[in-house]
């Protein structure tokens, strides 16, 4: 069945103007306090995935660059900036060299940041360059391992009872769909859950049940529990049972010299 002929998967990316203003203010404060420049900042959690609860916090992640002299010290320096988590905002970032090292190692989290549908700050030229370089460093094997490990952990810890925490269904569904996306040779999985689900779930009844789950999750609190969703539960069990087969993946072919060049040019522009 053509997935485009059945109901679309619900999603929302709610960022209130007042919250966006708070985030922008926090990023400006970070730049002033640490003498850095924020190159990119986005939502990385459920508000970026598209299924946030009303009381979900805001998971703001960013990449920043120091002045050139920071990179000319013998001793290693701290390469992470984290603000204390409050009742709404969870803000942390990676220094540029750290971020590019993680890109070279095919870190799936960084790929997700670069695909976030909610962007707070972005230096257009830098983002264009790093997004152009990223696909060559993508490792299907590492991404598959990352997503399956996430799905198995959440399934094992949260979906064994007759009553389950609603958000945990999605914390299993999303990584399983991302792993399936990789297994099918589609490349880097999109961050938006709805895009994954619409491409890979073409069963009308399953999509209907998924939309019921999403509607409940997006209207209820983060800690809300409920009875099992039988079709979703069966699909999860089926995908986990099939996850043992490892496709013959290609190896990344990224150019480290290109990352070195991006690092140098970005630092010198600081």
3-state secondary structure the chain: CCHHHCCCCCCECCCCHHHHHHHHHHHHHHHHHHCCEEEEEEECCHHHHCECCCCCCEEEEEEEECCHHHHHCCCCCCCEEECCCCCCEEEEEEEHHHHHHHHHCCCHHHHHHHCCCCEEEECHHHHHHHHHHHHHHCCHHHHHHHHHHHHHHHHHHHCCCCEEEHHHHHHHHHHHHHHHHHHCCCCCCCCCHHHHHHHHCCCHHHHHHHHHHHHHHHHCCCCCEEECCHHHHHHHHHHHHHCCCCCCCCCCCCCHHHHHHHHHHHHHCC
Residues of the chain where predicted confidence (pLDDT) is lower than 50? 1-4
Interatomic CA distance for residues 105 and 251, integer angstroms: 12
Q: Which tens digit of pLDDT belongs to each residue from 142-160?
A: 999 999 999 999 999 988 8
Q: What is the pLDDT of residue 98?
A: 98
Q: What is the pLDDT of residue 5?
A: 61
Token digits of residue 66: 């120091």
Q: How many CA atoms lie within 13 A of 138 on its CB side?
A: 21
CB-CB contact of 259 with 103 (8 Å) = yes
| pTM for the structure as a whole | 0.93
| Interacting residues of 262 by C-beta distance below 8 A, sequence separation 6+ | 100, 126, 129, 130, 133
Q: How many CA atoms lie within 13 A of 176 on its CB side?
A: 27
To which residue do tokens 């986990």 refer? 240
Token digits of residue 109: 């989290």
The number of angstroms, rounded, from the C-alpha of 158 to the middle of its chain's C-alpha atoms is 21
């Amino acid at each position: 069945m053509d997935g485009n002929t059945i109901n679309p998967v619900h999603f929302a990316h709610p960022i209130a103007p007042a919250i966006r203003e708070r985030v922008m203010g926090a990023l400006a404060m970070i730049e002033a306090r640490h003498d850095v420049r924020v190159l990119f900042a986005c939502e990385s959690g459920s508000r970026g995935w598209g299924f946030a609860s009303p009381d979900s916090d805001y998971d703001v992640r960013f990449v920043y660059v120091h002045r050139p002299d920071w990179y000319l010290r013998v001793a290693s320096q701290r390469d992470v900036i984290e603000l204390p988590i409050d009742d709404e905002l969870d803000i942390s970032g990676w220094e540029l060299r750290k971020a590019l090292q993680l890109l070279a190692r095919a870190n799936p989290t960084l790929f997700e940041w670069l695909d976030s549908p909610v962007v707070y700050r972005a230096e257009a030229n830098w983002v264009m360059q790093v997004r152009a370089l990223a696909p060559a460093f993508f490792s299907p094997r590492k991404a598959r391992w990352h997503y399956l490990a996430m799905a198995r952990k959440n399934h094992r810890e949260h979906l064994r009872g007759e009553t389950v925490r609603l958000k945990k269904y999605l914390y299993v569904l999303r990584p399983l769909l991302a792993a399936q996306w990789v297994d099918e040779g589609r490349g880097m999985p999109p961050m938006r859950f709805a895009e994954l689900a619409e491409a890979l779930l073409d069963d009308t009844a399953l999509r209907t049940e998924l939309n019921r789950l999403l509607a409940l999750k997006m209207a209820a609190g983060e800690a809300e529990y409920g009875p099992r969703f039988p079709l979703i539960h069966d699909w999860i069990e089926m995908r986990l049972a099939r996850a043992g087969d490892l496709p013959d993946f290609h190896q990344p072919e990224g150019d480290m010299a290109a990352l070195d060049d991006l690092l140098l040019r970005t630092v010198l522009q600081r």
